Amino acid sequence: MIVPSTVLANLAMLAAVCLWASATPATKFAVEEMAVAEFVAMRLTLAASALWLIVGVTGANARLSRAGWRPLVMGMLEPGLVTFVVSFGLTMTSPVNGSVFWSLTPLLMPVLGYLVLGERLEATVMAAALIAFAATMLLVWGQNRHGGGSWVGDLCVALGVVGAAVNALIARRTAQAGANPLVTACWQLTAAAVVALVLLLLVPTPGAHLAAASLPALTALFYLGLVVSAGVYILSNYALRHMPVGRMGLFSCLVGPIGTAIAALLLGTEVSALDLTALAMVLGAVLLPSLTGSRRGVAV
């Protein structure tokens, strides 16, 4: 029995979302014991090394002349700069806030399409964006009161989410050109590792260092580098060959609930009734455009 490519793409995105959701609390845990610049550089170097090993084993054609320039730009943006900014933000804010900001990606993508590409924007998407923004501010306010959140940290995470959304637009173009998802991810992570190593040399690294980290923190680092960073970009680059960016973005609505559950279970992050209400509002807002079934774009 041959499984349709669209089904495989949906399964790939579901797996990628689960990895994304686990990344926020794992990062929060790791950066409490090691400097952000060192953490990001090691995480991305591990991921790039793992991907080159896979390329070598599979014999994939990974020549840069064939891969093109887009994977390098993608890597410098995300996970290069995005991982650094988000990791820095998570040293100051709650992992719940971080997870929910990622959940706003499916609303951000259509808005970016309207602002950058001049695409028509549906009225339901605008309504959903307003609801989700209000719910996110409610959650941020609640976490800042009882969950260790901060507005500066939240801003860093939000900027990282915007960078990731821009990267998705470039990734979609790359996937449409028929690029090998493994090779794209390989060059993407290589460029990201170079950016991280440059930042490590330029940015001061106060606080604890990698050599002094505990075994659990190092385990989180290796999980993020070898499993999350390597796996997410292979899976998402594959999915982008078979589904549009907007549909892929809808999977991000699962990041908030899954990430919140992981943060509560593993890190003991407090989740109040107010937080759960805000999470439900974000989820409902993200699903609103799909539930209305609106197909006709309304000019804004």
Cα distance between residue 182 and residue 20, in whole Å? 18
In a domain, 222, yes or no: yes
Lowest mean pLDDT segment, chosen from 24-33, 56-65, 152-161, 288-297: 288-297
Length of the chain in terms of residues written: 300
Is residue 169 within 8 Å of 17, Cβ to Cβ? no
User: What is the token pair recorded at 233?
Assistant: 């970009």
In a domain, 250, yes or no: yes
pLDDT of amino acid 218: 92
Lowest mean pLDDT segment, chosen from 147-161, 196-210, 256-270: 256-270
Strands of the chain (E only): list them: none
Report the share of the chain in percent with pLDDT over 70. Answer: 67
Cα distance between residue 87 and residue 199, in whole Å? 13
In a domain, 300, yes or no: no
Cα distance between residue 198 and residue 270, in whole Å? 36
Range of the domain at 46: 5-292
- Number of domains making up the chain: 1
Cα distance between residue 94 and residue 154, in whole Å? 8
Read off the pLDDT of residues 163-189 as tens digits, 9 standing for 90 and up. Answer: 888 887 788 778 777 788 888 889 999
- Please indicate, yes or no, whether the overall pTM of this predicted structure exceeds 0.75: no
In a domain, 298, yes or no: no
Query: 191 vs 87, which has greater pLDDT?
Result: 191
Q: What angle do CA 6, 10, 14 make, to 5 degrees?
A: 170
